[in-house]
Structure 1
Amino acid sequence: MSVTQQYLLDTYRARTLGEPAPPAPGTHDRQVVREGRDERRLRAILAGRPARPRFQNALSRWRRRLT
C-alpha cells in the first residue's frame, strides 16, 4: 500500500468516526529534518565535539590545503 492510499484510508476512517483528519504526507518533513539536525548538534556539544556540520569541517580542511 502506498503512502497516498494509506492517507486516503486514514482520512476516510477519521471522517466516518468523526475524528479530525490526519496531516497530509510530507506536511512536517522540514520540521523533522530540523529537529534531527538540532539533536545531532546537541549530542555533539554534550560529547565535547564542535557542533559544526561535518560537511563544513571537511570543506574548511580542503580550503586550507589549497592555500
Structure 2
Amino acid sequence: MSITQQHLLDAYRARSLGEPAPPAPGTHDRQVVREWRDQRRFRVVLAGRPVRHRLRDALGRWQRRPT
C-alpha cells in the first residue's frame, strides 16, 4: 500500500467516524527538518564545539575553486 492510498484510507475512516482528517503526507516535512537541524546545532553548542555550516562551506569552496 502506498502512502497516498494509506492517507486516503485514513481520511475515509476519519470522515466516517466524524473525526478531523489527518494532514496530507509531506505537509510538515520542512518544519521537521528545520527543528532537527536546530536541535543538532544546539547539542553542538552545548558540547562546546563550533557550529559548522557544512553545505555553505562546501559551496563556498566550490565557487572559489580555480578554473
Deviation at 1:58, TM superposition (A): 5.6
For residue 39 of structure 1, what is the aligned residue in structure 2? 39
| Count of residue pairs the alignment pairs up | 65
Quote the residue 1:5 is aligned against. 5
Distance 2:14 2:58 in 1: 48
Cα RMSD, aligned residues only: 2.2
If the length of structure 2 is used for normalisation, what is the TM-score?
0.79
Name structure 1 gaps, 5 residues minimum.
none
Report the TM-score, using the length of structure 1 for normalisation. 0.79
Gaps of 5+ in 2: none
SS in structure 1 opposite 2:23?
coil
